[in-house]
Amino acid sequence: MQIRSKWVKSESMLEEREYTWRKTVALKPRIEIVLNKIKNEVTKLAYIYTELETIEVEIRESNSSFSINHELYKHPVSSHTELFQSKRRGMTVIMSMMSFETVADRLQAARNINEVVNALKPTIAVMKNIRSALIRYVSGAQEQITDICDMLELILIDACQLSNGVLDFKEANHEAILLLNEAHLKAEEKMREEFPGLMSFFIKRTS
C-alpha cells in the first residue's frame, strides 16, 4: 500500500502561525527538546510492540487453533478479527517507530541552519501521518505528537528566516511520501522476520 500524504497545511497558514516560543531562544535547545520528546514516544511504542511477542508465542503454541487446516473454520471469527487487529496495530506501531527515528536522525545529522531546513521540510507531513495512524492504537498520541509537530513547525519557520530559505511545499510533500513508503516497507520486513507466525497466518488465509 502506497502512502498518501495528509499534509494539507498551506504556506500561508504556516506564515500566519503565532509563535509560542520567543524568537530569542536558540534553535539548538529547541531541537534537543524535540529529540527528547521523540525519544519518549518511541519508548512508549516499544512497550506496545512487545505485546506482539506474546501473540506470536500463542500462535506457535496453539497450532490446533490457528493452523490452516480443517479446524480453522471451527475457530471463533472474533479471534481471527483480533489477530487481524493485532497485525494492523503492529504494522502501525513499527512504522511509526521507524518514522520517528528517521525524523530524529535527520535532525541530529544537521550541522547548520540550511541543513536544519532541509532536514525538517518533509518531517511535518511525516509526523502528521504518524499522528493520524496512531490515534486509534495509542492513548494520548494525538496530543503528544501534535506538540512535537508544533515545535517542528516553529523551528522550521525560524530556520528558514535565519537562512533566508524558501519552502517548496510540493518538494517537501513528495519527500515525505517517499520517507513514509520506505518506513512502511521496512515495517513489513520487520514483521515478517520477527513475527512469522502472525504474518503467515494471514498469508495462508488469503491464498
| pLDDT grade for 18, boundaries at 50, 70 and 90 | very low
Q: Which residue has the cell 519557520?
A: 157
Q: Please work out, in degrees rounded to the nearest 5, the angle formed at the alpha carbon of residue 30 by the alpha carbons of 112 and 174.
A: 65
Residue 61 domain-assigned (yes or no): yes
| pLDDT grade for 48, boundaries at 50, 70 and 90 | confident
Residue 178 domain-assigned (yes or no): yes
- Closest by Cα among 94, 97, 103, 131 to 6: 131
Residue 11 domain-assigned (yes or no): no
Please state the pTM of the whole predicted model.
0.74
Q: Which residue has the cell 518531517?
A: 123
Residue 1 domain-assigned (yes or no): no
Cβ(131)–Cβ(145) below 8 Å: yes
pLDDT recorded at residue 61: 65
Cα–Cα dist 178/193, whole Å: 23
pLDDT recorded at residue 195: 78
Q: Which of 85-89, 90-94, 105-109, 203-207 is least confident?
A: 203-207
Residue 56 domain-assigned (yes or no): yes
Q: Which of 78-82, 98-102, 127-131, 197-201 is least confident?
A: 78-82
Phi/psi-derived region of residue 76, left when phi > 0, alpha when psi is between -120 and 50, beta in every other case: beta
Residue 29 burial (10 A CB sphere; 0-12, 13-18, 19+) = exposed
Q: Which of 62-76, 107-121, 139-153 is least confident?
A: 62-76
- Closest by Cα among 152, 160, 158, 156 to 131: 152
| pLDDT grade for 70, boundaries at 50, 70 and 90 | very low
Domain range for 181 is 20-206
Percent of the chain residues past pLDDT 70, beyond the cut = 72
Residue 5 domain-assigned (yes or no): no
pLDDT recorded at residue 66: 44
| pLDDT grade for 120, boundaries at 50, 70 and 90 | very high
Cα–Cα dist 94/48, whole Å: 10
| Average pLDDT value for residue range 65-93 | 61
The domain tally of the chain equals 1
Residue 8 domain-assigned (yes or no): no
Residue 99 domain-assigned (yes or no): yes
Over residues 154-180, the pLDDT tens digits come to 999 999 888 887 778 889 999 999 999
